[in-house]
Structures are given as C-alpha cells and as structure tokens.
Amino acid sequence: MMAVNWAERISAFSRSPSRFLSGTTAEAFLAELLRELRDDRATYSVKVLLLSPLCEHPALLCPSDSVGEETALELMSVFAQCPPKSVQFRCHLLLALTSVLVCTSCVSGRSRASQDFLDLLLQIAEDTIDLHGDGAARSVRATACDCLRELEACSPGLLSQRLELLGGLRQREASRIHQAYAALHTLVLRNAVYQLTQQTGAGAEHLKALLGGNTSVAWEAEQDCSLMNDKDSAILSSLILGPMGTVPTLQTGPDCKELRSVLSSLLEDSYLLTPLCQAALLHRLTEVVSMVPGVPPAVFRAQLLRLLGTSEVCLLHTTLLMKCAFTDSLFSAEDEAFILKRLVVLSQHPLLSTPEKLFYMDCILHFPENRPISCGDGDETLPVLLTPRLASALVPTVFNDSATMLARFNLLSLVYLEEGVEGEGEGEGSRGLAYLYEHLTSLLDIVQSGGSREIIVTFFRAAFLFLFYFCQVERYSSGLTEKLCKLYLCHTYLAPHLINLADQTQDRLTESSWAVELLKALQVVITKAPLAQLTLQDLSQHLKMLTRVAEEGEIPQTNTLNFLSSIITPSSSSLSGDWRLGNSLLGVCRRLLVHPSLDSLLLPLADILQHLTCHYGNTDIQDHARLYYTLLTTLSREKLAGVLAQGLTEGGRQVKKRSLSSIMAEGEGLTSMLTIHRVEKAIFRLIEAGCEPRGEPQTEKGSDLTLNETESSPGEANVVLETYRAQFEDPNFASEVILDYQLTHMEAIDPHFSQLFSVRLHFNLTDNHYEELSDISVPCLFRERQPPKVRLRLKPRRPYPTTLHASAIFTTQDGLSWHTVLPDIHVAFQQAFMSPPAPPAWGRGGKQCLFEGLWDEISSEGGLNDPADCATSLFCCQLKEAALIALVEKHFLPYLISDLSDEEEFKVLFFLPPLSHILLKIRTEEDAVHFNIATDNWQLLPHISSYLLTITRYRKMLMANCDASLLVFKKRS
Amino acid sequence: MSVRALWIISHEKGENVSVRFSRRFATVEHRAKSLAGSSYVAVPEENTVLQLLLTELGLSDSEKSYVALRDDCLHRQRSPAMELRVDGPGKGILWPVLAISQGPLILACLPLVDAPVEPRPPLASLLSVSQGLTLLAGLQTFLLGPGGKPDSEGLASRLAMLPAILLQVCPLGSPLDVPILGAPATPTVPIPAGNQKQPVWKTGLHRGRAVVNVALIETVRSMQYGNRSRQDLWDVYGTVTCKVPVPPILGSYRLKEEENQLHVSVTLKLHESVKNSFEYCEAHLPFFNRDQMGVVDVKVSSGQLDVSKEKNLLIWAMGQKFPKSREVTMEGKISFSGPTPGPTDSLCTELTAYIKLYFKVPDMTLSGCSVDQHSVQVYSSAKPRIVTSRELLSKEYFIWNSTGTAPVSSGQMML
C-alpha cells in the first residue's frame, strides 16, 4: 500500500511541485521523505523513488544552506547504514547528495557536510578492490566519479589539488569504468589549467607542480582563487567560441613534457570511450591545448582520421569545434574541403533523423573556416568553399518535411544570392533562383488544391524567405503577387496568412514596396470579382483584407468604396442583421475615415454610412454608423483626424479620449481597450491598519453578571462550556479572522498611476490552510487622498501562519485596464488570535468560568475534546516583574481573563477560528517566569512557542536581561 | 555539455497528449543560473512546457486554421532548436529546446548554453546540442523498440525502466552513452589482463568464430517525367555516395482522360547493365481524387496485375525476371464509376499521377562498388572469417505521367 501511495505522491510532486506543496509545506514533505528513507520496512525500490524530489528540486525542499547541510548529513548516515548490495539505491543516494549540496551552495561554501561528502566520494573512487567480484562495487565507483565530476563542474577548482591522484586512478583502471575516471580527470585538468591562466606569474613550474601533485610548490592563493571563480561564471563557459572568442593563455615555453604526456595518454585511450564521452573529452582537451600555446595542436593529429570519417553527430561536432580553435594549425585546406563535403552529404543523408540533418545544415552556415572573411558575429554566412554545385545536393523538394524544406530553401537562397541573381542570364545564380521560384510555385499549387494546414503554413514561410532574399527581383516578386491573388480568391480563409505575410515583409523589408503592391492587387481582385457567388464567409474575409488595405495611405480607396456600396445597396438578405459583419463593414469605414485621401472619398463614404444608419438590420450597427456619419459630416478634417488618430496610436497612454472613438469598431483601439495591460512593478500594496483588538470588544465590564465571579463550581463550569459550545453548532459562528489593511501607493511610481479607478483585488492562497478568499473592490485610489480601508475576511481551516499572493486589476484615467501584482501579504500566527466568542451577556466572570472549564478539561482526561488533540506545555524565560507586566499589557490585554492587577497569575485565553483555544497561565516562579500552556489543538504548539519566544526575546533585549529561555512541552497521547 | 531537463511525451495524432516521463537535472540548472546571470530563465513546470512545446511544434489548437503564435511566417521552424516563450512571473525565452518526434512519441530536452547568452551564440558552438540530439535519438530507439512501432504495454514497460537507464547513461545531466537495446550489459565481463583497457562500447564477450561481415547496400531513387523540357533524375546512396550513368529501369507513363475513363499506357525498360535477377519488383499505380475504380480493362505483357479498388491502386508484380527483351508494357482503360470516392491527395490532382517502383536486386550495385573479401584486413589476434555482400534497393523511385504536370522535386538537375 505504501509503495503505491508513494509512487503517486512522488509523481504528483514532480508534475507540479508548486501545487503539491500548497497542500503541505516543503519542510514537512522533506521531513516525511527523510523519515521514510530511514524506515527499515520500506523497500529499496521505493526509497530510490523517494530520492527523486531531492535530485530534481533540491533547492525547493532545502530553501536554506543550513537545511541543505542537515539534509546532506542525514542522507550520508542513510548511506553509511545501507547494505552494499543495494547498488541502485546507493548510487541514487550519491546523486541526491550531490544535487542537495551543489544547489544549496554548501559546496561553494566548503561546508562541513560537503567536505565529508567529498572525502566519502574520493574514498569510494580509490577503493578499487571488488570484494564480491560481481561488479556491484564498480557501479557505485562509477557513480562516485560522476558525482565528483559534477562537483568539479559546479565548483571549478575543487579538485585541482587531487590531479595526480585522479590521473593515477584513471591509468590503473582497466574495466569499462575507466571512462568515468577519464572524464573526471580531464575536467579537473581543464579547470586547473584555467585557474593557472588567471594567476599572474604562473608558468611552466606551476603546471609541472600541479601535475606532479607537488602541493608544496603549488600556488598559494589556491583557496581564494577557486572561491573567486565560483562567482565568475567565465570558467564555466566553453572557451571555444569562434573567431571572436578570446582564450586565456598560460605561458610555459615550449617544454611542457608532463602536460604532453598526460594529454597523449588521455588521447591514446580515447577511442575506447563511448562517442558521447569521447566528444566531451576531446572538447575539454581542445580547451586545454588552446590555453597552453606551448603544446602544439598536432597532438590531436592521430585522432583526426577516425574523427573525420565518423557517423556520430557529437564526434563530428567536436571536430568542428576543434577546427574552430586550431584552424590551419591542425587542419589542412584538403581537410577543410573534405569536412564541408561531408557536412553537405550528411545534411541530406536519408538514414539520419530530421533534427540531425537540420543541425548539420546549421553547421554549414556557421562553418569554422581556416581563414574566415567575416568576423563571424553569430549570423549565418556561407563558407567560401560551398559552391552552387556542391550545394545542389540540398535543393528543396516537395517531398521534404517542412523543417528540412525550409532549411534547404534558406541555404540555397543564400547560395544563389551570392552568385548574383540579377538579369535573365544563364548564370548559376539566376538558374538556381528560377528553380526556387518553380519550387515555391509547386508548393502554391498544393495549397491551391487544398493542402493541409501544415503545408499552408510551410508555403507562407517559404514565401517569406523567398521575398526576404529576392524581393528586388521584379519578375518573380510580381509573379508571386499575381499567384497569391489567384490563390486568395479560391481560398479566402487564407486572409490571415496573407495579412501576416504583408505585415512581416513590410516590417522586415523596409525598402521594398512589395507588401503594398500585394495589398493593392488584392484590393483589385476582391473588388472586381463577380458578386454573384460571394458567400458570407468570403465577404467577412474580404472585409478583413480591405481593412488592412485601407491602412495603406498610398493605396487609392475608390475601389473599396465601390465594393462596399455594391454589397450593401442591393436588398441582400444575407446582410440583413449580422452584427459581426456589420462591425467588419464599420471597421473598413473607420479606417477610411483616417485615410489621407479622405477628401475625395467624402461623398461615397457618407452615402455608405447613411445607408447603414437607415437600413442595416441591427440597431447597434445603425447607431455606430450614425456616429461615424455625424463625425464625418460635422467635424473639420483636422478634428476628425485628431479624434480618430488618437485611437490608432498604439498603446499610447497619454490618450485620454480613446473611449469615444474606438469603442465603435474592431480595431487596435478597441483591442487595446479590451486588453488588460500588464504592469511589471508593483503599483500599490496593502499595509496593516493599526493593531486594534480583534474579536469581541471588552466593554461589558460591570454589566450584569449572571455568574458569580469567584464561586465557579464544576457544575457551573460544565453549563458554561455547554452554552459556549452550543454556539458553534452553526458552522459559520466565529469562523472568520478579520484583518484590516490600508491600500496605499508604493513610493516612486509613474505619475500615470496616481489616480486609479475600479480596483479589484484578487487573492491567491499559497497553501490550503484557509478557504479561498473572494475578490474585493475598491472604487478608487488617489495618491493624494486618505488610503482606502480594505478588510480581509479569512476563514481558516487550520489557523496557521500563511502568505497570500495578491493581484489587482484596475483602470487608469485614460480608460485602459491594467493588471498588477501586489507584494505578498504575510499573515502572522498572532493575527488569528481572538477573544473567545462568549455570549454577549457574559461578563468577565463568565469568561473566567470558561477559562477554568477549558483548562480542567484539557489537563484531565475527560471532557468533550478529543484527548488526542489536547496538549499542555511549559515555556520558561527570565523576565523581571516590570517587564512581564509590560509584556502582558502590550500583547495580551485584549485576551486577558484575570484582572491585570492580579499580578500573581495572569490568565490569557486565545480563541483561534474555527475551533481552537490556547490558554496561558503566567506566573513568576523563583527561577523564571513560567508560561503554562494548554491547548485543544496540539499542532499549534510550535507556533505558540515561537510566538512566545519572539515577544519575550524582544522584551528581554529591551530589558537587557538576556538569559536563555527554555521550552518544554508534553503531548498527551 | 549537459542538458538541463528531459521530457518524454506521448500523443495520438496531436490528441491525448501527456508527459510520460520528465527529469530535471538540478546541478545543471544551477550552472545554467550562474552562466546566464540576469538573463536566466527557469524551466517551468511540466504542463507549461507541454503547452509551449505543442504550440512550437504546430500541434496545438488543431481546429483553428490560423493562430498567430503558431503560424507566423517569420517563425524559424527550420532550426533544430526551438524557442519556448515562457510567460508569467519567470518570463523569458527558453532556448535551445531540441525535440525529436516519431510515431506517438515526442522526446525533448534543453541543453545547457555554456557560452555568454547575449548575443545568442550560434547553435553550432554548443557541444551540448549534439550531445542532446544523440541522447534523444538513443532514448527514442530504446523506447520505440524493434520495428519502431511500440505497443502501449511495451512502451509503458520501457518507460518504467528509464530511471535505471538514466542512472547509467545520463546520471547528472551529462550524457555518457545511449541505452543499449536488448539485454543489459553484464557487469561480469572479465577484465582484460595487463595494461589493456576494456572498450566501453563493447558490452559482452563473443564466444564463436570471429566473423567480419561487410555488407554494401545501395539505394536508388529516381524521378522520371517523360518530358523533354524536364530532365529525369536519379541518385544512388549507401555506405558510399556515388553517381551512376543511367537509372536501372527507365519508364514511360501516359494517361489520357476520355469521358470518365482513363486510358493507361506504361512501358518499363530494364537497362542492359543491370542484372536481370530481382528478389522482387513491383510497380504501384495509385489514382487520387477520383471515384473508386469500376471496370478495369488493363493488360500487361508480363507479370501479374492486382487491383485494389478500395485504395484505387493497381499493383503490377513483375516477379524475379524481366522477359528477354528486357521490356514490359501495360495498356488499357480504367473507368472510375465506383459507388464511393477514392483516396484524396493535394499533390496528385487531375492528370498529375505517378508510378512508384519497388525492387531489390541482390548481389549487385549500380556504382560497381564492391568489397574484395581478400583485401579486408583485420588487426586482431582472432582470425575472423570475412563475409562480403552487396545489394541494390529502390526508394522513392517515381515515374510521372508525362501528360500531366509533375512537381519539381529533386536536386541533381544542375549536375
């Protein structure tokens, strides 16, 4: 049962840690995990599962370094007690430990646990005796090496002093795990050499000392240096970054015998490693050799034959990076030509997967040339050796998948562009371009005959690429326009794609007028097409298109107007009252109202608006048309432009009168009105209003006492308790904690936000200890006025401290809506304190009676309360009498049951909704002040004790009387 | 050279999508944070990643014909690495996300960028990218199992093995190896004596006669248009990439539309240099965007003709040999008067139609490439037997109807 339970819980955690932790706390979950890991009854397969949250989210479960440290110590003791045959579990434990220590910065801080763990790992790595001979120890050893390597990767320089030891271990290991030692050794070597390059005056001697393990000569500032590098991420970064990257160097002179021998030994064995490990090892060694000019790159020569012929993507990649680092000092011109040919072949090899082929094409466009012409700023450039003839292996075909086809289209476009495509000549460039155009046409034909969504999207992407490179070639770009128009007429649902293409080409190709030409042509085909077969669907797409066309000042709009009047004038029943369509019509009109050629459009446009006003079968549309008509006929040209243009400026906050003009039609004005904008910085926050006592106010002093103050007998106490408890039969009785806040502006905010309206506050819980809160509306928030009060009604399920996330939506003066996040609201434990909700008729006597009744019930076994939930406890601290009275007055007065003048014993009763009580009897004994605590909810004990600790510590600090306090608590089972 | 996270997603043609396995590598994430500094974007929770990934792969909102975020023509779909645009508090762009997809599985990972993040480094400068691709491909092969088509139980059982497998191949985010198919490595392989080290890629000990098998498989593709203005194309690839002077089978395909009937005329000619001994040889003639075939009145000069009316497909099996003349023909009429419409295709409309040839010729290559058994040298103390073989295989071998328009398709035209 446990196993199923844990499998589900762990998978729920990994699916969404935030949702999982909202039902518990990270602290509690961690404690549960650790307890279960120690439990002998749990199987090891379950325990492996339990480690996965620690491996995947260590920082979430161990929020501080000290928790990380404790967790690590705990895990190490689990490791120590784990039998050697549970190999999988031991390996996973090592991984979890690595994750916890690295992610809580215990490693970078060289904490005790991390030192112990390092020692443990080294001990495992060195212990090469396999007692059982079944290879079990070997697996753990390999994992230990992996962990050491990760520690070194995350905290570079950590193992620099162990270089010789690690080298020796690597050489002695003959079983297949020599790979793990080689990877570790290589990384430590790389980091150590890097650190030397950062040392002023470091040279051959230092390098020799480092490799020989001669720590006495090793550089002195080792510790400081490695610590420094933790902050400096440069050491984590790859050193092979193309022609612009600079590599730090170590001047050693030509004699680096020791380093050379280490390198050649690593390289000699490299072919024994898996391709992935080989690639990583070669990359690290490439970095080492680039840092030490004393070692010639020729040390890699012997490996090249194998690397150049490889079919493994990572090995070829590492070879390219090597070429990038060493250029012609390792690779001849023939090698370069060969590698490029190989990349071309691999880019289209039918046996490779699509992502691999795309990657190879990417490598061609970032080819590390021996003598690069450009500085290689990360842009795609063609290698000089890539001729059209060679590249022709990569021409796009209709049988390619979309990504491959687009990648090839892009590459070939670059190739032909390089060759020169102007003129009708027979040059390779123009022949290639002709092919690309023909290919684009084939794609268009497929779209024309009803291709899938994927092929449509692919076609438009290819069209964009084509225009991006060749829009200056008139014969093709105008041909494409013509074909697109035909295509649109057959498939009007392509309107959004065409608008997107027009938008993007206009945006990216600022010098080209292609987009305008396309829109112009589309206007012609839309307005000249026979109206007879026009469906409602087509019409709505046409109007979308014409709206976009009307955005272009250069395009005359007479055709559009003629089209509009021809579709509205006949007694076309399809138009009779569709609101959407009416809105689309108005959308075009609205654009026309701000068109630069409005003067010439005035009469026909007025006719159309008037017709809509009188005949359109939808009142809303009629009204809007009337407004436009009025604006058009009464306002001067400048005013009209002024009123409407404001609505068109994008996201302009200074616009005040947007609502008037933009609400009428679908346009970006309306969109920006309807969109909720986001404010990155907090604009306002909730601060706690003055601390007034919560719960029932203590005003009935001296009112009629139905119960005698002093003579409360057990019988009476029972009656009191019964009466008191009867009130709770109504589940809503005293179930809320009311917290008052003020909503105030943050300091230094944009003046734009100083007057806010319709603020709607929304609260999100971070745990499930409380019921969801409803939203709160605040009519307005002005900077210069009194801050409005906000009252939160929290309904606890369990009255624990909590944090609330708060956000708000509000409106600014210009009518825009905004969304903002407020700083979190922290609800402290004591904020849930209330006076007991006694019946109003009761006076102090009644409450005293209640106190005694509860106290006796909790302290004894009987009573109505579930005894398992009851607990008593004692909290002691050193306080002088005056300090104690001050403390009681400051913190407990609203909840005080006894008389303040009765200094012998203070009785305090906190009620915490929905049903919990905490009772305090405070009395000064000879050695200390004793806080006797009784509660009917033992889970509140940690919270009350930390609360008491806080207030007494503060008091003590005030009184400069700082003795240790003591907390004892006893839970009855 | 590490990956920050790994996801395995299953779906059925874009529906019923779920994350079947995910793994985050916390220490790599820790490094990513130090490397990226203020530009760091954390890996969001599983569901968010899933949604963003589907949008990026064009699989989201399949019922909508245009979604700006998914279908923008500026979108760089041609790169193997995707950008995930994370919204909300930890917003930013997650890059480079690699994904490979086959059948019901999508595998994705996020390699570590171990270079300054601004300006964005080229993909080719990050070794972690090829490492991530190799890891994904290895996991895919493992999960799909032999045949590349997993049953749901087989898939589930292999997914359950992943934690143990990742402990071997990628314990802390740095890929070390790809999963081994079949039996797991036996750790009890004896360790070679002396200084000789054991290769990591050799997982077991072979106890038979040592054999070296050198197989040469050539694959031939062709596009034949039967049109003077358009050059026919073919290429051959295999372990050795090379060019051939002629395609092995030259064909002509002519269709004529006559009142709801198609007049079909096909000639296939085997080149004299090709050995007339096939393991199999078949021609497939599909017909799209028409009603089902009614009367099929077609004669072939050799071989056997099968008619699949539901699929609107003629299958002409030539058998193991062409006749002495090395030429076969098909002639006849097909009426499309069936009760239901046949299959549709957006490429093959009207008279755009093709014949696709499937054949295999054992023991020959077009390039003439062969491996000489006696010239293979093996540097090993065990004297292995050397076996060599060769074969020719067709793939994408199309003959287009010369009376219709054919799509432009292949790349050797400028050679």
What is chain B's alpha carbon radius of gyration, rounded to the nearest angstrom?
27
Q: Is A811 exposed, middle or buried (0-12, 13-18, 19+ CB in 10 A)?
A: middle
Tell me what pLDDT residue A378 has: 63
Residue B190 sits at the chain A interface (C-beta within 8 Å): no
Domain boundaries, chain A: 1-155, 158-218+227-295, 530-643, 684-691+735-828, 834-969
In chain A, positions 403-422, which contact chain B (CB-CB < 8 Å)? 403-404, 406-407, 409-410
Local confidence band at A518 (pLDDT 50, 70, 90 cut-offs)? very high
Q: Which residue of A has its CA nearest to B98?
A: A355
Tell me what pLDDT residue A421 has: 74
Q: Residue B26 and residue A99: Cβ atoms within 8 Å?
A: yes
Local confidence band at A709 (pLDDT 50, 70, 90 cut-offs)? very low
Give A285-321 pLDDT, tens digit per residue: 999 999 999 999 999 999 998 899 888 999 999 999 9
In chain A, positions 497-526, which contact chain B (CB-CB < 8 Å)? 497, 500-501, 504, 508
Amino acid at A885: I
Task: Give the nearest partner residue to B65 out of A103, A353, A493, using CB atoms.
Answer: A493
Three-state secondary structure of A872-901: EEEEEECCCHHHHHHHHHHHHHHHECCCCC
The residue-averaged pLDDT of A399-407 equals: 91
Separation in Å, CA A54 to CA A96, A216, B114, B310: 6, 39, 25, 57
d(CA B290, CA B254): 17
Please tell me which residue, A29 or A746, carries the higher pLDDT value.
A29
Q: What tokens were used for A191?
A: 């980091």
The residue-averaged pLDDT of A9-34 equals: 90
Backbone angles phi, psi at B84, to 5 degrees: -105, 125
Query: How would you classify the pairing of strands A676-678 and A755-765?
Result: unpaired
SS3 B96: strand
Q: Residue A135 and residue B187: Cβ atoms within 8 Å?
A: yes
In chain A, positions 422-481, which contact chain B (CB-CB < 8 Å)? 428, 431-432, 435, 438-439, 442, 445-447, 449-455, 457-458, 460-461, 463-464
Tell me what pLDDT residue B409 has: 52
Tell me what pLDDT residue B190 has: 59
What is the percent of chain A where pLDDT is above 90? 42
Local confidence band at A835 (pLDDT 50, 70, 90 cut-offs)? confident
d(CA B110, CA B101): 15
Backbone angles phi, psi at A813, to 5 degrees: -60, -30
Indicate the class that CATH gives domain A1-155.
mainly alpha
Closest CA to A342 of A386, A381, A288, A294: A386
In chain A, positions 135-174, which contact chain B (CB-CB < 8 Å)? 135-136, 138-139, 143, 146-147, 149-150, 153-154, 173-174
Closest CA to A879 of A852, A855, A906, A910: A906
Separation in Å, CA A352 to CA A26, A357, A382, B27: 45, 7, 23, 32
Give A562-590 pLDDT, tens digit per residue: 999 888 876 554 566 788 888 899 999 98
- Nearest-Cα distance to chain A for B270, in Å, is 25
SS3 B135: helix
Local confidence band at A420 (pLDDT 50, 70, 90 cut-offs)? confident
Residue A969, pLDDT > 80, answer: no
Q: Is A54 exposed, middle or buried (0-12, 13-18, 19+ CB in 10 A)?
A: buried
Q: What tokens were used for A687?
A: 């601060």
Give A910-920 pLDDT, tens digit per residue: 999 888 899 99
Closest CA to A409 of A374, A360, A458: A458
Binning chain A into helix, strand and coil, the percentages to the nearest 5 are 55, 10, 30
Separation in Å, CA A133 to CA A57, A85, A489, B183: 35, 12, 77, 20
Q: In this structure, are residues B298 and B264 in contact, taking their beta carbons and an 8 Å threshold?
A: yes
**A220-224, A845-849, B318-322 — most confident range:** B318-322
Backbone angles phi, psi at A743, to 5 degrees: -95, 115
Beta strands in A426-520 (DSSP E): none
Q: In this structure, are residues A403 and A358 in contact, taking their beta carbons and an 8 Å threshold?
A: yes
Task: Give the nearest partner residue to A362 out of B124, B135, B408, using CB atoms.
Answer: B124
The residue-averaged pLDDT of A775-795 equals: 89
C-beta atoms surrounding A949 within 10 Å: 14
Q: Residue A91 and residue B171: Cβ atoms within 8 Å?
A: yes
d(CA B404, CA A464): 29
Local confidence band at A864 (pLDDT 50, 70, 90 cut-offs)? low
Q: What tokens were used for A186?
A: 């290589």
d(CA B375, CA A48): 53
Q: What tokens were used for B35?
A: 């490397």
Residue A477, pLDDT > 80, answer: yes
In chain B, positions 210-269, which contact chain A (CB-CB < 8 Å)? 219, 237, 241
- Give B-chain residues touching A272 at CB under 8 angstroms: 197-201
Please tell me which residue, A943 or B285, carries the higher pLDDT value.
B285
d(CA B72, CA B364): 49
Tell me what pLDDT residue B216 has: 77
One-character DSSP codes across A668-720: HHHHHHHSEEE-SS--EEEEE---PPPSS-S--TTSPPSS-SS---HHHHHHH
Architecture of domain A684-691+735-828: Sandwich (2.60)
Tell me what pLDDT residue A867 has: 65
**A581-590, A641-650, A692-701, A704-713 — most confident range:** A581-590
Q: Residue B197 and residue A269: Cβ atoms within 8 Å?
A: yes
pLDDT, tens digit only, all 415 positions of chain B: 899 999 999 998 778 899 999 999 999 999 999 999 888 999 999 999 999 999 888 888 888 889 888 899 988 778 899 999 998 777 899 999 999 998 889 999 999 999 888 888 999 999 999 999 999 999 999 998 767 777 888 889 999 999 999 999 999 999 999 988 755 545 555 555 566 788 887 665 556 676 777 777 777 877 788 877 777 777 776 554 333 856 789 899 999 988 878 999 999 999 888 889 999 999 999 999 888 998 899 999 999 999 988 889 999 999 899 999 999 999 999 998 888 888 888 888 888 899 999 999 998 888 778 888 787 777 666 777 888 888 888 888 889 998 888 776 544 443 3
- Nearest-Cα distance to chain B for A615, in Å, is 34
Q: Residue B219 and residue A350: Cβ atoms within 8 Å?
A: yes
Q: In this structure, are residues B112 and B95 in contact, taking their beta carbons and an 8 Å threshold?
A: no
End-to-end alpha carbon distance in chain A? 26
Q: What tokens were used for B354?
A: 């093709």
Q: Which residue has the tokens 């409309």?
A: B349
Tell me what pLDDT residue A682 has: 83
Q: In this structure, are residues A709 and A842 in contact, taking their beta carbons and an 8 Å threshold?
A: no
Residue A766 sits at the chain B interface (C-beta within 8 Å): no
The residue-averaged pLDDT of A113-121 equals: 94
SS3 B183: coil
Backbone angles phi, psi at B144, to 5 degrees: -75, -25
What is the percent of chain A where pLDDT is above 70? 86
pTM of the model: 0.74
- Candidates B18, B73, B344, B379: best to mutate against A (most CBs of A within 10 A) is B73
Residue A862, pLDDT > 80, answer: no
Indicate the class that CATH gives domain A834-969.
alpha beta
Tell me what pLDDT residue A134 has: 66
- Give B-chain residues touching A95 at CB under 8 angstroms: 167, 171-172
One-character DSSP codes across B285-305: EE--SSBPP--EEEEESSSEE
Local confidence band at A356 (pLDDT 50, 70, 90 cut-offs)? very high
The residue-averaged pLDDT of A189-213 equals: 88
Tell me what pLDDT residue A650 has: 42
Residue A378 sits at the chain B interface (C-beta within 8 Å): yes
The residue-averaged pLDDT of A803-815 equals: 87
d(CA A516, CA A673): 28
Residue A223, pLDDT > 70, answer: no
Tell me what pLDDT residue B191 has: 59
The residue-averaged pLDDT of A819-848 equals: 85
**A26-35, A572-581, A878-887, B373-382 — most confident range:** A26-35
Closest CA to B187 of A101, A591, A175, A52: A175
d(CA A390, CA A99): 49
Tell me what pLDDT residue A732 has: 83
Residue A653, pLDDT > 60, answer: no
d(CA B292, CA B309): 6
Tell me what pLDDT residue A964 has: 34
Residue B74 sits at the chain A interface (C-beta within 8 Å): yes
d(CA B139, CA A433): 40
Residue A652, pLDDT > 50, answer: no
- Give B-chain residues touching A460 at CB under 8 angstroms: 71, 73
d(CA A4, CA A715): 52
The residue-averaged pLDDT of A158-168 equals: 92
Task: Give the nearest partner residue to B410 out of A147, A397, A449, using CB atoms.
Answer: A397
Query: How would you classify the pairing of strands A676-678 and A817-827?
Result: parallel
d(CA A466, CA A460): 10
Strand partners, B316: B283, B305
